[in-house]
Structure 1
Amino acid sequence: MSSTLGIHMEEELRSQPDTWRTALKLDSSALPKKGERVCVVGCGTSWFMAQSYAALREQSGEGITDAFTPTEFSTEREYDTAIVITRSGTTSEIINFLKQNAGKLHTVALLGDVNTPVADLADDVIDLSFADEKSVVQTRFATTALMVLRSTIATEETCLKACDEATEALSASLDDRLIDAEQYSFLGRGWVQGLATEAALKMRESCQAWTESYNSMEYRHGPIAIAAPGRITWQLGSSPDGLEDQVNETGATYVEGSADPMVELVKVHMVALATARARGLDPDHPRNLSRSVILK
Structure 2
Amino acid sequence: MTDDRPARTHVAREIQSQPRVWARALDQLGTVGAVLPQRGERVAVIGCGTSWFMAESYAHLREQCGAGETDSFAASQFPAGRGYDRVVAISRSGTTTEVLRAIDATQVPVLALTAVPDAPIGRAADQRIVLDFADERSVVQTVFATTALMLLRGSLGEPLEAVLGQAAAVLAGDHAVPSAIGAGSQFTFLGQGWAYGIAREAGLKMREAAQLWTESYPQMEYRHGPISVAQPGRTVWVFGEPVTGLAADVAATGAAFVDDRLDPVADLIRAQLLAVRRAEEQGLDPDRPRHLARSVVLPEVISQVSSAP
TM-score scaled by length of structure 1: 0.95
Contact 1:179–1:274 (8 Å) recurs in 2: no
CA deviation map 1:210-262 (0-9, x unaligned): 00001101101211111111111000001011111111111111001311111
1:175 maps to 2:178: yes
Q: Report the equivalent of 2:145.
A: 142
Q: Report the equivalent of 2:34.
A: 29
% identical equivalent positions: 46
Contact 2:181–2:233 (8 Å) recurs in 1: no
Q: Report the equivalent of 1:49.
A: 54
Call closer, same or farther: CA 1:275–1:149 in 2, change over 3 Å: same
Call closer, same or farther: CA 1:250–1:134 in 2, change over 3 Å: same
Q: Report the equivalent of 2:71.
A: 66
Whole-angstrom distance in 2 between the partners of 1:169 and 1:5: 15
Whole-angstrom distance in 1 between the partners of 2:222 and 2:69: 27
1:18 maps to 2:11: no
The total of aligned residue pairs comes to 291
Call closer, same or farther: CA 1:192–1:154 in 2, change over 3 Å: farther
Q: Give the SS at the match of 1:138.
A: coil
Q: Report the equivalent of 1:250.
A: 253
Contact 1:41–1:85 (8 Å) recurs in 2: yes
Letter in 2 for 1:50: A
Whole-angstrom distance in 2 between the partners of 1:274 and 1:179: 9
Cα deviation for residue 272 of structure 1 reads 0.6
Letter in 2 for 1:207: A
Whole-angstrom distance in 1 between the partners of 2:200 and 2:177: 21
Contiguous gaps of at least 5 residues in structure 2? 300-309
Q: Report the equivalent of 1:114.
A: 117
Q: Report the equivalent of 1:95.
A: 100
Larger relative contact order (C-alpha < 8 A, sep ≥ 6)? Answer: 1
CA deviation map 1:139-180 (0-9, x unaligned): 110000000111111423xx1110110000111144212333
User: Which aligned pairs between 1:218-233 and structure 2 lie closer than 5 A?
Assistant: 218-233=221-236
1:272 maps to 2:280: no
Contact 1:180–1:279 (8 Å) recurs in 2: no
Whole-angstrom distance in 2 between the partners of 1:215 and 1:92: 29
Letter in 2 for 1:114: P
Contact 1:234–1:257 (8 Å) recurs in 2: no
Whole-angstrom distance in 2 between the partners of 1:275 and 1:154: 37
CA deviation map 1:168-221 (0-9, x unaligned): 011114421233320000000001101101110010000000000011011012
Answer with 20-29 or 92-101: which moved more. 92-101
1:203 maps to 2:203: no
Whole-angstrom distance in 1 between the partners of 2:181 and 2:126: 44
Contact 2:140–2:287 (8 Å) recurs in 1: yes
Whole-angstrom distance in 2 between the partners of 1:9 and 1:65: 31
Call closer, same or farther: CA 1:4–1:91 in 2, change over 3 Å: farther
User: Which aligned pairs between 1:117-132 and structure 2 lie closer than 5 A?
Assistant: 117-132=120-135
Contiguous gaps of at least 5 residues in structure 1? none
Cα deviation for residue 60 of structure 1 reads 1.2
Letter in 1 for 2:182: I
Letter in 2 for 1:161: A
Runs of 4+ more than 3 Å apart: 3-6
Specify which of 273, 286, 290 is matched with residue 289 of structure 2.
286
CA deviation map 1:16-44 (0-9, x unaligned): 00111011111222011111000001001
Call closer, same or farther: CA 1:125–1:76 in 2, change over 3 Å: closer
Contact 1:5–1:284 (8 Å) recurs in 2: no
Contact 2:7–2:13 (8 Å) recurs in 1: no
Whole-angstrom distance in 2 between the partners of 1:112 and 1:249: 45
Whole-angstrom distance in 2 between the partners of 1:293 and 1:44: 10
Letter in 1 for 2:170: A
State the superposition RMSD in angstroms: 1.6
